Each structure stands twice: as C-alpha cells, then as structure tokens.
Amino acid sequence: MRPLFLLYACVPALFLSTALWAQQPAAAASSPERERVLDRIDHTAAGFRTTEASFVWDQYQAVVDAKDSQEGKVYFRRSGNETQMAAEITKVDGKLQAKFVIFSDGKVQVYQPGINDVVDIYDAGKNKETFESFLVLGFGGSGHGMLKSFDVTYAGPETLNGASTEKLNLVAKSERARNMFSHILLWIDSRGVSVQQQLFNSEGDYRLAKYSDIQVNQKKIPDSVFKLKTTSKTQFLSH
C-alpha cells in the first residue's frame, strides 16, 4: 500500500480506485440526474486515449489552519492494457520547484532534481489494476464502476469559471475508506470529465484539485513525457 499512499500525497486529484474498496453492492438510490452524469462519464471512458491538463492542488489542514498548494501539469495515456500517468509539479506555494511523479509498467517513480539526485521506485505489484483505476477516476475511469465502491448521489449543478458542471457526492462503502475520507465531491463537465475534486475527512481537513486547459484525445503524448530526465549520477532506489 506504500505506493498508493505516495501517489495520494503527490497526486491528490486522482485518489480513489473503483477496485480498492469494492466490497459491497451499491446501496445509494438511483436518480435520473445521477444516471445521466454516470452515462456521460462512461461514454468518455469508452473512447479514452489521452488526457493532459494544468492543475492546482490545495491541501488544507484544519488543526493548524494552514494550506499548501502545488501547480503543474498532468498527463494520462492508454498504452496497450495499461493506463500511464505523469505529473510534473513546477511550483509549490507559488515558488518554483520541480518534482516528477510517473506511473508506468506497474511502478511509481518519484524524482525531485537536486534533492540527493535520487529516484525512489515503488512497485505496485499485485495492486497494479487498483492503481490504474484509482488514477483515472474522473479522467477515463468508469462512471457506473464507481458504484461498486461508493454510494453515489447527485449533488446538483454548479457553474465553475463560467462553465456548467454537475456534482456527484461519493461516500465509500467500507469503513476503512470512510476513516480516510468522510466524502468526496466530483464536479463533472459536459464532456464527462472531472474538472474539480474535493476530498474531506472527519477532522475538517480537505484536498481540493482544480483542473484547467483539459485536452482529451486531442493529440498524441510523446514517450518522453513518461520517462524521467535523470543524469549519470542519479541513483535509483527500490522500496
């Protein structure tokens, strides 16, 4: 589970897998509005090839009344039977800072140039499929697939940055997951893509992910995006 929580920390928009907590049948009552949004997500997932977007990831800690922020770009592509992800963090709390996170070939690689020049590698192992489904929640993942793990309810429309979205509220079915997050909000646009996500815990903390310049299936993402640019002195540490 170490790599999963590592990705959770580095990529706070794409946290939850539709397989990770699939323990019980769906219990939330259906509604025409919910079904419409889930159908829209499913339609996008069926034709998913690539997605790239700019992001702002905010984390708020209530106990110290503090918020930190990360900015950058994130990329996804379907390669054979695998979904790959690359995140390039360029700013932390408004200051330039480079950090790279890549999920490919069943492994998570984290690299922060200049910090001991080390790439930390975490093998997803038997959890590979779980990682993939968790990564693409709202970006190519199944809509109705979420019902395996969450009680999903329609939370109404909302305009974000002049665009119409519809909100879904997710409550995990397993107690283990609810101990991490009391509930999750997804803002779904007309394309069936999650343009904003917010995760809450019972202590008042939350993680808010905002996406812009989202490009779905618009161009091929080069292989170089999913490869770290290291030096001859870079060390690779497997965990």
Q: What is the pLDDT of residues 22-59, one digit of tens each?
A: 344 444 568 999 999 999 999 988 888 999 999 998 98
In a domain, 234, yes or no: no
Assign 115 to helix, strand or coil.
coil
The answer to the question of residue 239 being in a domain is no
9's enclosing H/E stretch is helix 2-10
Distance CA 168, CA 175 (A): 20
Longest dimension (CA), the chain: 57
Mean pLDDT of 195-206: 88
> What's the domain range around 187?
2-219
Alpha carbon separation from 165 to 17, 84, 91, 106 (Å, rounded): 22, 26, 27, 33
Spatial separation of the C-alpha atoms in residues 6 and 185, rounded to whole Å? 21
pTM score: 0.80
Residues with Cβ < 8 Å from 171, sequence gap 6 or more? Answer: 28, 150, 151, 178, 182, 183, 184
pLDDT of residue 132: 60
The pair of structure tokens assigned to 54 is 């700019």
User: Is 204 a domain residue?
Assistant: yes
- Give pLDDT, residue 137: 59
- Has residue 235 been placed in a domain? no
**What pLDDT band is residue 181 in, cutting at 50, 70 and 90?**
confident
For residue 117, what is the domain's CATH number?
2.50.20.10
Domain-located, residue 93: yes
| Residues 2, 63, 205: CA angle, nearest 5 degrees | 55
Give me the pLDDT at residue 6, please. 44
Classify residue 226: in a domain, yes or no: no
- Asked if residue 195 is part of any domain, the answer here is yes
Percent of the chain with pLDDT over 90: 41
- The total number of structural domains that make up the chain: 1
Residue 148 within any structural domain of the chain: yes
> For 132-136, 221-225, 233-237, which range has the lowest pLDDT when averaged over its residues?
132-136
Cα separation, 208 vs 199, whole angstroms: 7
